[in-house]
Structure 1
Amino acid sequence: MNLFGGTISKLESGLNYASLKNKTIAQNIANVDTPNYKAKNVSFEKMLSDAKKSTISATRTDIRHYDFEITQSAPGVYSYENFNYRSNGNGVDMDTEQANLAENTIYYNALVERISSKFNSLNTVIKGGR
């Protein structure tokens, strides 16, 4: 039985994406004064294509062997290689990073609020509407 039609798992994926993006933005902000550091970003499309490519499956050569398939999710983090924002080769624009952080925080909080609402609905059903 799949509660909420898979909504919670999709919200979880969204939270994973927002968390990775937040870590990447924090890393950019932490390295704002590091010479030759290139700013990184997270692309949902790149995460999706990387997830599709990274599936490993085993060939069963004996009846006693187990079939298995491993999916490795490579994060869709990429860096701006040819972009220099400062003369020391640093590619971090602090204003852009702060704007990205604010936008990502709003997105993350919206997902948390939505998943919390789903769990509250489930809790209400379990308690019989009380």
Structure 2
Amino acid sequence: MALSFDKAFGVHQYTLGVRARRAEVLAGNIANADTPGYKAKDVDFSQALKDAQSGQGFGLSTTNERHFALNLGGSGDVKYRNPLQPDTGDGNTVDLQQERKDFMQNSLEYQTSLEFMNSKISGLLKALKGEQ
């Protein structure tokens, strides 16, 4: 009997890649908070998740048919963010407090998905070993 990762892990196998991509984008915003003309970006999470689930986006190539296909989400899910504050004159649209809040929330949600995946894997290992 074949193991279906879609059934075993649900949506969490896809959210990890999308949340990792979002963390990179938000970290880039924080790093460029003082860069004149920098426009803040964010990941359209729902679209990126749909792309990851459908097999679109940035995937790693496999060299053997037994390798798992890994899809990390594409770059089309990154969009410019509408600024919540008026322009300070240098053209930068990064709101540092908003970026930090979003980064922390994304980190917590990433950790939640990791914990869920860890518990599922532990359960599968126990089932394979015949433990209760």
Please point out which of 95, 98, 101 is paired with 2:100: 98
* Paired amino acid for 1:129: E
Contact 1:29 1:92 (8 Å CA) reproduced: yes
* 2:2 is the counterpart of 1:14: no
Q: Tell me the alpha carbon deviations over residues 46-69 of structure 1, each in whole angstroms, 9 at most, x when there is no partner.
A: 3257677x69xxxxxxxxxxxxxx
Residue aligning to 2:29: 28
The whole-number CA distance in structure 2 between the counterparts of 1:46 and 1:119 is 27
Moved over 4 A (4+): 48-52, 81-84
The whole-number CA distance in structure 2 between the counterparts of 1:41 and 1:97 is 9
The whole-number CA distance in structure 2 between the counterparts of 1:39 and 1:98 is 13
Q: Secondary structure at the match of 2:34?
A: coil
Alpha carbons of structure 1 residues 113 and 103: separation in structure 2 relative to 1, 3 Å: same
The whole-number CA distance in structure 2 between the counterparts of 1:82 and 1:97 is 11
The whole-number CA distance in structure 2 between the counterparts of 1:97 and 1:82 is 11
Give identity over the alignment, percent: 29
Using structure 1 for the length normalisation, give the TM-score: 0.73
When the two structures are aligned, how many residues end up with a matched partner? 114
Contact 2:18 2:49 (8 Å CA) reproduced: no
* Paired amino acid for 2:16: L
Using structure 2 for the length normalisation, give the TM-score: 0.72
* Range moving further from structure 2, 10-19 or 79-88: 79-88
Unaligned runs of 5+ in 1: 56-70
Unaligned runs of 5+ in 2: 58-70
Alpha carbons of structure 1 residues 98 and 2: separation in structure 2 relative to 1, 3 Å: same
